[in-house]
Structure 1
C-alpha cells in the first residue's frame, strides 16, 4: 500500500505560520521516523512526500529525507510556475528522479492567480518532462480549477483532499456538481485525504465523511481514486490509524482488485513508483 500524501518538516513558527495555536499537536518537527511504526503496523510500504513550504529549498530537504528513508517513493515538490526561466528549472530538477510532480498552494491564491495565463503556461510545460500536478484548493475555488484543467487537457492532475468540501456544514450540493464536472476530465484523479481538517475536528461523524466519499467514488470511480492520509495535519483531529480504518471500512464495498487500485496501483501508475 502507498500513502499518497504526507508531509515532513522541521517546524519554523514564521515559515509555518499557517499552523496556528489551535493546531498545537503539529507545532513541532515531523520526520519519517515518526511514522515508520504506524506504516509497519498497517502494512503500508511507501509514501509520497508532498511539499509543505513553497521554496526550491523544500525540494532539497525532501530529497535528502528520501535518500535516507526507503519508505519515501516519490516527492511532489514546489517550483515557481511563473518563472520566465521555468524550463531551465524543470530541466535542472530532471536530475532528481524521486521528484514526480509539483504543487502550488492554490488554496491561498485567488481566481486571478489560478487563471493567470502565465501560470497556466507554466503548468503546460510539465507534460514535456512527464511531471504530475497536484491541485490543492477549497471547494469554493473548484470552478476556477475546472477552467484551469480544461485548458491543459493532457496533463496528469490529481485533486488533493477531495477539493476540501465543507464537511462540517454538510452543504455539499455545489461541491458535488463541481466534482462531477471535474471528474469528466479523464486526466484528473482524486486523493481521498485531508477531510478530517475540513470537519469538526473533535465531533465529526462517520456519516459526514462517508457522504463525501460517496460523491468522490461515484464521480471518479475506484480507477481514479487514491488513498492519502495528510499526515501529520490530520493529527489535529485523530490518530493516523483511525483515518486509515475509516477509508478501509468504506472501501470494503469494492472488489479486491478495486481496493488494490485505491490503496496501491493508482498511486504507482500516477506517480511512476
Structure 2
C-alpha cells in the first residue's frame, strides 16, 4: 500500500498574499516547492502527497496543478474555485480536464459559521459530487455545529474535516469539541484528516500525551476506515516539524494491525481522493 501525506502546501511566499503568515512564523516566511518536500517524504517512507490550496484564487489552483504535472509524487491537488459563482459548472467542467485536481477547499475558518450554510455556497458544494470532486472542510472547533448541518444536507458529497477541526489542544479542552466532532462523524460521507494538531498545541513543548485524548475521540468516532494522515507541512515546521508529527502518530498507532495502519497511512487517502 502506498503511503500518502494527505495534506501539505506549496507556495511562492508573498508578504501581502500570505499575510496570515505573521512575524512569529518567520520559519515559514519563504518559498516552499516540491524540491523542498521530496527528500522529507523519502526520509519517512512516504510515497506521495496531496497539495492543498493556501490562497483563494484559481491562480493558486493552476499553480498547484503545474507543480503536480511536473512532480509525479504530488498525487493530487485540492484547489480553490468560487463555489458561489454563476459560471461554476463551466469552471468545474474545466477542472475535470485537469487530472491532478481531486477536490476543492474554501478557507471557512476565516468566515462566520453561517457562511457555509448560505444557499449559494451550499448549492456550489452540491455540484461537486456531479463532477467527482471532494470537499475539504477547513474550520475551527467553534464552527463544527454549522459543518454538521452542511454535511447532513449533502449526504452524497464526500467531505473531509481538516486538522481535526482545530480543537483547543493548548487549553486541553476536549468535551465540547468531542461532542461536536462525534456528531459530524455520524455522517458516513465525512472523513477526518489527522493533521495540523501540533500547531493547536504548545508549539515548543507538546508531546503525544497532550494530543492523545483528541486522537482517541477521532479514531473512535470515525473508525479506522475514515481517518487519514496529513503532515500540514510546512506549517508544521512551527511546532516540531515533519519528524515529530510522524513519530507521534507511529507511537499512537502501535496497537493497530498492519492492515489498519495501511489504511491510515495511505489507503483511506487513496480511496477518498480517488488517486
Q: Deviations over 1:177-223 (max 9, x none)?
A: 01111000000000000011111111223211111101100101111
Q: Quote the offset at 1:112 in angstroms.
A: 2.3
**Which of 228, 234, 237 in structure 1 is aligned with 2:236?**
234
Question: Do the aligned partners of 2:69 and 2:100 also contact (CA within 8 Å) in 1?
Answer: no
Partner of 1:192: 194
2:208 & 2:5 partners in 1: Cα distance?
21
Residue 231 of structure 1 deviates from its aligned partner by 0.2
Residue 78 of structure 2 is aligned to residue 64 of structure 1: no
Shift, 1:259, TM fit: 0.4
Secondary structure class of the residue paired with 1:222: coil
Instruction: Using the TM superposition, give the Cα deviation of residue 239 of structure 1 relative to its aligned residue in structure 2, in angstroms.
Output: 2.3
Separation (CA, whole Å) in 2 of partners of 1:239 and 1:161: 15
Post-superposition offset of 1:172 = 1.1
TM-score (norm 1): 0.99
What secondary structure does 1:107 align onto? helix
Match of 2:24 among 9, 22, 25: 22
**Aligned counterparts of 1:239 and 1:230: Cα–Cα separation in 2:** 9
How far apart, in 2, do the equivalents of 1:39 and 1:119 lie? 35
Report the CA distance between 1:79 and its aligned residue.
0.3
Once residues 36 and 93 of structure 1 are traced to their aligned partners in structure 2, the CA distance between those partners, rounded to angstroms, is 25
| Runs of 4+, deviation exceeding 3 Å | none
Match of 1:144 in 2: 146
The 5 Å alignment of 1:107-256 reads 107-256=109-258
> Normalising to structure 2: TM-score of the pair?
0.98
Q: How many residues are aligned here?
A: 273
Deviations 1:132-173 (A, max 9, x none): 000000000000000111110110000000010000001111
Gaps of at least 5 residues in structure 2 are none
SS in 1 for 2:85: coil
Query: What do the CA deviations read for 1:15-48 (whole angstroms, capped 9, x no partner)?
Result: 0000000100000000111121121111100000
CA–CA distance in structure 1, aligned partners of residues 269 and 195 of structure 2: 13
> Mind listing any 5+ residue stretches in structure 1 that lack a counterpart?
none
Please tell me whether residue 40 in structure 1 is matched to residue 39 in structure 2. Answer: no
- Aligned partner of 1:268 in structure 2 is 270
